[in-house]
Chains A and B, each alone.
Chain A
Amino acid sequence: MTISMNTILGLSALLFGIGMFGFLARRNIILMFISVEVMLNAVNLSLVGFSWHMEDPRGQVLALFVIAVAAAEAGIGLGLVIALNRNKPGAGVGDLTELKW
């Protein structure tokens, strides 16, 4: 397969930029969370690309850890969304100002 490293990393950077725009522009907590998942996927893609380029499985080990931590983040994040929705139904991210001073 004749793919240059620039192509893989450019694809990863494009996905990361898309995810970052989603995170910054969206005002819904679940949509922001989904954008974070897109960014994590971009990082994983670059790790696997490096692993393929250097013929070294250590990049894949790192990507596996990233996937595990992303799963943990998903569990806690959606638990928080549900708890938030129970305590303040219909609250957007702009309404969560209790910790602000």
Chain B
Amino acid sequence: MEFETIVFYALAVATVIPAFGVMMAKDIVRVAFWLLASLSGVAGLFIMLDADFLGVTQVLVYIGGILVLILFGIMMTHRDPVLVSADDDRRRSPFTGLLVSLMTFGALMGVILGTGWNVSGGLANGKLSGEPTAAPLGKALLTDYVLPFEIVSVLLLVVLCGAAYIARRGKDEEASNA
């Protein structure tokens, strides 16, 4: 077996096992750290799949941004940050969730295995071929996809204002809520 293939499978295992940890762990801070491992594995898989720019973006945005935000959220909302209260998880049995997610997984696998994936060639637009992807991505974002790009930038601005408004601790707001 080729070395790259072995690395790919190792990264796949390093992504899926922490994902099981995210699902099973009872301790909310440990869930966040399992998520860190899983996101790092996905970043490695991106790099193995010739998406070096996306791998770095994954590290910057998910690990550097979202994960830190999640940890802040945990610290600010849980008086005792280490323990999930028993009430949180035990109120309902996970049987229905297990059934629905297994059925979804089965349906997805059925579609995946039932489709022939030999569509390569003819559809290629800008060849990737192991070269850095920052240049083709930048070109695509500022030519063909400039309208979605601008819409996303406006969305981020709206989200910035909205999050600041929602999470702010206004004096008049507190007085009216009290």
* A contact residues, range: 35 or more
* B42, A18: Cβ atoms closer than 8 Å: no
* B65, A61: Cβ atoms closer than 8 Å: no
Asked if A53 meets B159 with Cβ closer than 8 Å, knowing A41-B39, A61-B137, the reply is no
Q: Write out, one digit per residue, whether chain A residues 80-96 have a CB within 8 A of any chain B CB (1) or not (0).
A: 11110111000010100
Q: From residue 38 to 78 of chain A, which have CB atoms closer than 8 A to chain B? A: 38, 41, 44-45, 48-49, 51-58, 60-61, 63-65, 67-72, 74-76, 78
Main secondary structure of the interface of B (DSSP, over half): helix
* A25, B38: Cβ atoms closer than 8 Å: no
* A13, B163: Cβ atoms closer than 8 Å: no
B177 touches which of A11, A14, A81, A87 (Cβ 8 Å)? A87
The answer for the CA separation of A51 and B40 in the assembled complex, in Å, is: 20
Q: B170 CB to closest chain A CB, in angstroms?
A: 11
Count of chain B residues near A, Cβ 8 A: 88
Q: A24 CB to closest chain B CB, in angstroms?
A: 3
Tell me if B82 is interfacial: C-beta within 8 Å of chain A. no
List residues of A whose CB falls within 8 A of some B CB: 1-11, 13-28, 30-31, 33-35, 37-38, 41, 44-45, 48-49, 51-58, 60-61, 63-65, 67-72, 74-76, 78-83, 85-87, 92, 94
- Given contact pairs A18-B22, A79-B164, enumerate 10 new A-B contacts (beta carbons under 8 Å): A11-B15, A15-B19, A21-B94, A25-B89, A25-B94, A44-B46, A44-B54, A64-B57, A67-B54, A70-B62
List residues of B whose CB falls within 8 A of some A CB: 2, 4-5, 8, 12, 15-16, 19-20, 22-23, 28, 31-32, 35, 38-39, 42, 45-46, 48-51, 53-54, 57-58, 61-62, 65-66, 69-70, 72-74, 76-77, 84, 87-92, 94, 96-98, 100-102, 104-105, 108-109, 112-113, 117, 119-120, 123-129, 133, 136-137, 140-141, 145, 148, 152, 155-156, 159-160, 162-164, 166-167, 169, 177
